Structure 1
Amino acid sequence: MLLCVTANHRNTPFETLERLSVDAGRLAESLAAGAAEVRGAVAVSTCNRVEVYLDIDAAPLAAHALARHGFERALTELGGADARELTTTAEVLDDAAAVHHLFSVCAGLDSVAVGEEEIVGQVRRAATLARETGASSGRLEHVVQEAIRTARAARAQGDASRTGRSLARLALDLVGSRLTDWASTEVLIIGTGRYAATTVASLRERGAQNITVYSPTGRAQLFAQRQGLEPTNDLSASLHRADVVITCTTRLSVGVDDVPAGARALIVDLGLPRNVDPAVGALDGIALLDLETIRLHAPLVHWSAEEDARAVVDAAAHSYVTAASVEPAVVALREHVLGVVQAEIDRARSRGDDGRVEEALRHLTSVLLHTPSTLARRHAAAGRGEQVVAAVRTLYGLDIEPVAAENDATSDATSDAATAPQAATRSSSASSAKP
């Protein structure tokens, strides 16, 4: 079954999320290797969430326990003994709830700034990393790809791209309410990652012209050259000149001792863990805007674009979940038909078939299986999943396992064998591949 363990801005204080911030790739690997029942893991760690999506082959109660204990164990391994205490607010979602949550996250509907555009890229990178390290599974890969496709559809339907509700844009909206003119504002960006590039684009949309970049890791020169900015290696002098400072790195970059006397600036901390010591906000002439403040100022009303996007996500998540309910029946039907076909292929080989009979049979099998597989999922989406399962049992006398016990590797192997007009040696290799 699919599960999600999530600690996010809705159920966990930002101070706790700061301490939970870990390397997503290592978290997924640790969880995937933690128990034999865990068949795959994908971890997502962003500025307002740390969560893992798990494919667990166990009964619901056991799967929930494995998910929560595995999350605690992995965080303890990566974050030290104190990390165990930080998981108490994390929520465990399973099956339909986990799928709907993932779809909502990808579409930016579960972000601090509703409609945030960066999150779908972060989920995509997390899934890619899990796949490359062997931590993912076929089921997780499939649901993530569906979530990404749904995010694109939701953005198109809800026009989220024009609405521009990214975290950086929301922060700059709050800053802009205190400024008279962006064109005359001295802006300092601390950080050179993807979020920094997004912030630069948002600043230029507002007319900002005087933008300087500083990097704690010495990458300011290259980033400035790419973005057409002014680099600096002198943090203190730059802080003294700046009217607005925006931090978006992965480490603490600004402490009380870094701020020179006489500096007057509005500092926006977009980092998690936080990039700016909270004590900086108490200095004379300094105002500090952090993620907690941004969350409190996030719009509470539902604009029409958000409603449209939510409708797309709800429909897609429901369709995915209902289609999954008949997947064991589809797999059982494929296995049955393929077994019959394989027997005929073996008989043809024994009679000296040169491969043409085998190719024709595999092609015919693919054609014959396509329509019932498609219609089964369509009927499931219409609420007739139980009838589909009953029909397959009755007509073919098959023993259909429940969804939680479905074997992904068998499912993928049978699908491959049905569609590939290749020799049996290739089919046997496909059956051992992870979906």
Structure 2
Amino acid sequence: MLLCLTANHRNTSFDLLEKLSFGAPDAAKGLVEGSELVSGAVVLATCNRFEAYLDVPDADGTAATDRAVEAMSLASGTDPAALRDAVTILHGDAVAQHLFSVSSGLESVVVGEDEISGQVRRALQRAREVGTTSSALERLFQKATQTSRGVKSRTALGGAGRSLVRLGLELASSRVTDWAEARVLIVGTGQYAATTVTALRDRGVENLTVFSPSGRAAAFATKYGLVASTSLPDAIGASDIVITCTAYLAIEPKAIPNSSRRLIIDLGLPRNVDPAVATLPGIELLDLETISLHAPIEDLTAAADARALVGEAAAGFTADHSVEPAIVALRSHIFDILDAEIVRARSRGAGDETEAALRHLAGVFLHGPSARARELAKEGRANDFVDGLDALYNVRAAGAVELRAADAVELRASDAVELRASGAVGDLDAPRASA
């Protein structure tokens, strides 16, 4: 079963989200390793949301939820009770609906924002690197990526260029007389910094300097045509606007060299700027919490279209998931027959060409029923396929789902190699026991 623990800017303080963004992703490995409660975990923690997607063997999931809260709170230095109160727990079908909405930007501070889909992909990649993903989570996140692309290409949200960076600059415009004359310092060299450069140039900014606490300013400046600085106080002193978007740097009041009028936009999480900076004469500070309070009302038509696409994609994902055990059972049955027939053919002197032809034929036979099963599932008739499978072949889906998906893939890995060698892979939906 899939579970999701979610908290966001609408119902959780930025202080708690800040702590979770710093430590929670590191808890995934310990949550999965050596645990019978959690088979897989992908953690997404951004400036305005926390998401923990879990693959759990228990149909209830209560114990897995408790274990996840404990692990995430320990890793982030948060109170377990406070974290439990903050998160919403989603189960089963609701998980796909939620992730697809998140990855499409429908749950963001700025509806339709550009950055979130990349953050979702990177969360999955991180889970792959530390070994905490699972086949169920892979399918879920890959479908989420497909859905977000569809929303961007088929609705008005796609070309809006929406982002927290652009919203922050929009709010700053009332404080800036002429962007073309503004001296802007960017602190940070990551993806947000690159997005910031583009957004600033769209507004006509020409005088751009970059500082990096990690020493990457020179390379970033060369790539984007900026001026690099090696001294933060000097760079701040020479700027009218400071935009921070790095990981750990905290600009304290003592780093501000003078009290001239200056606007500071803090896009970092954890915070890059000490709130006490806002008390200095002439300093105005815009942070994520302030920016989120001024998020525009979503374009109702575009958002409605996007939500319709997300709902359709979630329904399709749920339908495929409901009928997959039956498809796996059919494949296992056909391939067992195929293996026996290949052994008999080999015993009579048949060669590689005969085996390849038999495997190709099996793939052709399986493709039609597999496609039809998914069609029936989308119509709410998955049981028709399951009952037909039982009536025709005396094959029951329950036998297929006793294997964990990862074990099934490993068990049949040799089949995928043989199918590719035979050229039949194009006719077969997936490896023979892929879940």
In structure 2, the CA distance between the partners of 1:415 and 1:217, relative to structure 1 (3 Å rule), is: closer
Contact 1:32 1:41 in 2 (8 A): yes
In structure 2, the CA distance between the partners of 1:98 and 1:151, relative to structure 1 (3 Å rule), is: same
Match of 2:426 in 1: none
In structure 2, the CA distance between the partners of 1:405 and 1:24, relative to structure 1 (3 Å rule), is: farther
Letter in 2 for 1:417: D
Say whether 1:13 aligns with 2:6: no
Cα offset for 1:289?
1.0
Contact 1:214 1:232 in 2 (8 A): yes
Cα offset for 1:376?
0.8
Distance 1:145 1:417 in 2: 23
Cα offset for 1:49?
1.8
Match of 2:131 in 1: 134
Cα offset for 1:224?
1.2
Match of 1:421 in 2: 419
Deviations 1:39-98 (A, max 9, x none): 221111211122221111122x2x2330x2232232244234746643431122122111
Match of 2:28 in 1: 28
Classify the secondary structure of the residue corresponding to 2:349: coil
Deviations 1:230-289 (A, max 9, x none): 122232233233222111011132112212332321211111111111121222211111
Distance 2:249 2:400 in 1: 46
Contact 1:24 1:126 in 2 (8 A): no
Classify the secondary structure of the residue corresponding to 1:160: coil
Matches within 5 A, 1:46-65: 46-59=46-59, 61=60, 63-65=61-63
Classify the secondary structure of the residue corresponding to 1:162: coil
Say whether 1:42 aligns with 2:39: no
Classify the secondary structure of the residue corresponding to 1:329: helix
Match of 2:254 in 1: 257
Question: Which shifted more, 392-401 or 193-202?
Answer: 392-401
In structure 2, the CA distance between the partners of 1:85 and 1:350, relative to structure 1 (3 Å rule), is: same
Say whether 1:245 aligns with 2:242: yes
Distance 2:91 2:244 in 1: 36
Distance 2:216 2:159 in 1: 31
Residue among 368, 372, 375 paired with 1:371? 368
Letter in 2 for 1:64: T
Percentage of matched positions with identical amino acids:
47
Residue among 227, 230, 235 paired with 1:233? 230
Letter in 2 for 1:7: A
Cα offset for 1:333?
1.2
Matches within 5 A, 1:24-423: 26-33=26-33, 35-59=35-59, 61=60, 63-66=61-64, 68-80=65-77, 82=79, 85-401=82-398, 407-409=404-406, 412=409, 417=415, 420-421=418-419
Aligned residues: 427
Distance 1:24 1:354 in 2: 55
Distance 1:365 1:86 in 2: 51
Question: Which shifted more, 238-247 or 367-376?
Answer: 238-247
Classify the secondary structure of the residue corresponding to 1:22: helix
Contact 2:2 2:91 in 1 (8 A): yes
Deviations 1:317-362 (A, max 9, x none): 1111112111111111111111122221222233333223322221
Distance 1:8 1:347 in 2: 60
In structure 2, the CA distance between the partners of 1:25 and 1:17, relative to structure 1 (3 Å rule), is: closer
Contact 1:256 1:279 in 2 (8 A): yes
Classify the secondary structure of the residue corresponding to 1:326: helix
Contact 2:248 2:272 in 1 (8 A): yes
Match of 1:427 in 2: none
Distance 2:202 2:420 in 1: 55
Cα offset for 1:190?
0.9
Distance 1:58 1:397 in 2: 28
In structure 2, the CA distance between the partners of 1:101 and 1:304, relative to structure 1 (3 Å rule), is: same
Distance 2:130 2:143 in 1: 21
| Runs of 5+ consecutive residues of structure 2 not aligned to the other structure | 423-429
TM-score by length of 1: 0.90
In structure 2, the CA distance between the partners of 1:98 and 1:229, relative to structure 1 (3 Å rule), is: same
Distance 2:432 2:363 in 1: 20
Classify the secondary structure of the residue corresponding to 1:321: helix
| Runs of 5+ consecutive residues of structure 1 not aligned to the other structure | 425-429
Question: Which shifted more, 178-187 or 20-29?
Answer: 20-29
Letter in 2 for 1:224: A
Distance 2:135 2:319 in 1: 18
In structure 2, the CA distance between the partners of 1:331 and 1:101, relative to structure 1 (3 Å rule), is: same
